[in-house]
Chains A and B, each alone.
Chain A
Amino acid sequence: MSLCVLDEDEFHLCCQLLLQLSEQLGDGWSWEGGQEGYLRKTALRSVVIDSSSVWDYEGGGADNSCPSRSEQQEGEQEQAAVDASADTDRINGDMEDEDDGVCVASAGSSQLLQYEYHILHSCSYSTPVLYFRACTQEGRSLSLEEVWSSVHPNYRLRLQNSPLNTITLQEHPLLGQPFFMLHPCRTEEFMRPVLQAAQDQHRPVNYVLSWLSVMGPVVGLDVPLKYSTLLHPAAPPGSTEPG
């Protein structure tokens, strides 16, 4: 379905639009790198590193990254993370892991971390890809374990059971430095219903923005709902969607 693929030109168009909206909202996105570039945003987050959590993550696991059809769980639809934006940036010392059966010996402490998010285009998967890195105020890079520990409990179960969005350490394809990445290979699957619905309802849709609203909150990247109202200011019926 060509509906769900995002080629490089369309990616650029979506990014340009996102940048315009970001500017209006003061959301801090910028474009780096010229023609073959990426969207970039930094953010300070107050995060609890709950290092006593038990994770079965090891490097995304040999089988956890993008299982084949014969392995995957019954299709889990990723819905726009409405509840995400509420709490992700306001995790504090309160332990909220009632849902993952983890025995916590000591409460994790709240730290102020500097996050850097990049959105690139993958020519292999014809989707956007989210890369990020995080460091403490002293400049120490976070480890993969710490990043997994800082994922909001609402998402942990989803990440563990549905390897749609596995976090792994990867080499940034343009900068050559280690970054964390949310794996893109299942993007087409969760974008399909979103794009189909938009097409059926003759609503314009920005692929990158819709995609980001799903992926971003998992790693603490807030996508204010105001983007949506700016994008759809009472669109007249019958308006065609962009390419």
Chain B
Amino acid sequence: MADDKDVLRDVWFGRIPTCFLLNQDEVTEREAEPYYLLLPRVSYLTLVTDKVKKHFHKVIRTDDAEEMWFEYEGTPLKWHYPIGVLFDLHASNTVLPWSITVHFKNFPERDLLHCPSHSVIEAHFMSSIKEADALKHKSQVVNDMQKKDHKQLWMGLQNDKFDQFWAMNRKLMEYPTEDGGFRFIPFRIYQTLSDRPFIQKQFRPVSPEGHVHTLGDLLKEVYPVALPNE
């Protein structure tokens, strides 16, 4: 993956300019100013918005304030999806900055997972990493890593440290060349037009005849409606 370093960096450092606005129904002691932030695409909303909470806590009645949650045009935003996925799913056609509404009341229990602390985000992130490795390496690589290696992965994400993150992640991205690639490619196709949040299936990187699969092959196999008619 060394020759893809530029791509890796571009992905890691992707940012979305965002404007956080307090929900109009919140009772405030004075006018709430919007808060602007450049959100990292690869991170999670609840991990990078401590400053947003601090900012709005200055103007609302904090004794009433419950867990902060976010909404875009009436849709509660799932913090456990990467920020880039949320933007692409809900707001990719709109003008920047992305306007997100902040709430401190009426947490939508049926739609959103609770996120009481950063350790919940860490658990979720590590769980995703482990699941991906179950598909790539039957969990062998992730299980052979030490606890401190897992921690380094997380800290790299949390503190936006590309090199620290990739020092560990490269192990998870290696495969024996004789096999042609990972056992299965960990992918998810997110969609908004269905109750089902995403499509995830077992998909091999190489065909039985030995041809390397492309993204087009994947879509043809698992999501043909996305492809234009021949």
Interface residues of A (CB under 8 A from B): 58-71, 123-125, 141, 143-144, 168-171, 173-178, 183, 185
26 CB-based A-B contacts, threshold 8 Å: A58-B120, A59-B119, A61-B119, A62-B154, A63-B147, A65-B123, A65-B130, A66-B130, A67-B147, A68-B150, A70-B146, A124-B134, A124-B186, A124-B200, A125-B134, A141-B109, A173-B196, A173-B197, A173-B198, A175-B195, A175-B196, A176-B197, A178-B109, A178-B112, A185-B130, A185-B131
Interface size on B, residues (CB 8 A): 39
Residues of A with C-beta under 8 A to B207: none
Q: B113 interface residue, CB < 8 Å from A?
A: yes
Q: Which residues of B contact A125 (CB under 8 A)?
A: 131, 134
CA distance A174 to B147 in the complex (A): 32
Chain A nearest CB, measured from B150 CB (Å): 7
Interface of A is mostly: loop
Known: A175-B195, A178-B109. A59 touches B123 (CB 8 A): yes
* Interface-located stretch among B35-43, B48-56, B136-144: B136-144
Of all chain B residues, which has the CB nearest A135? B109
Q: Note all chain B residues with C-beta closer than 8 A to A59.
A: 116-117, 119-120, 123-124
Determine the residue in chain B with the shortest Cβ distance to A169.
B113
**Alpha-carbon distance between A62 and B124 when the two chains are bound, in angstroms:** 8
Q: Is the CB of A185 within 8 A of B139?
A: yes
B206 interface residue, CB < 8 Å from A?
no
Bound complex: CA of A143 vs CA of B110, how far in Å?
12
Kindly state whether residue B92 has any CB partner on chain A within 8 Å: no
> Are B123 and A173 closer than 8 Å at their CB atoms?
no
Q: How far is the CB of B201 from chain A (nearest CB, A)?
A: 6
Q: B200–A144 contact, CB under 8 A? A: no
Q: Are B113 and A58 in contact (CB under 8 A)?
A: no
Kindly provide the distance from the CB of A140 to the nearest chain B CB, expressed in whole angstroms: 8
Which A residues touch B110, using CB under 8 A? Answer: 141, 177-178
A34 to chain B, nearest CB (A): 11
Are B123's CB and A71's CB within 8 A? no
Please, which residue of chain B has its CB at the minimum distance from the CB of A127?
B134
Establish whether residues A68 and B143, one from each chain, have CB atoms under 8 Å apart when the complex forms.
Answer: yes
CA distance A12 to B209 in the complex (A): 29
- Residues of B within 8 Å of A67, CB to CB, are 147
Question: Could you tell me if A171 and B135 are in contact, using CB atoms closer than 8 angstroms?
Answer: no
CA A174 to CA B45, docked complex, whole Å: 23
Which of A61, A66, A68, A173 contacts B200 (CB under 8 A)?
A173
The interface residues of chain A lying within 8 Å CB-to-CB of B132 are 124
Residues of B within 8 A of A170 (CB): 113
The CA of A67 and the CA of B148, in the complex, are separated in Å by 12
Task: Kindly state the separation between the CA atoms of A69 and B197 in the bound complex, as whole angstroms.
Answer: 32
CA distance A46 to B132 in the complex (A): 38
CA distance A175 to B111 in the complex (A): 10
> B62: CB under 8 A from chain A?
no
Contact of A168 among B78, B116, B123, B142 (CB under 8 A): B123
- For the complex formed, measure the closest distance between the CB of B38 and the CB atoms of chain A, giving whole angstroms: 26
Which chain A residues border B143 with CB–CB below 8 Å? 68-69
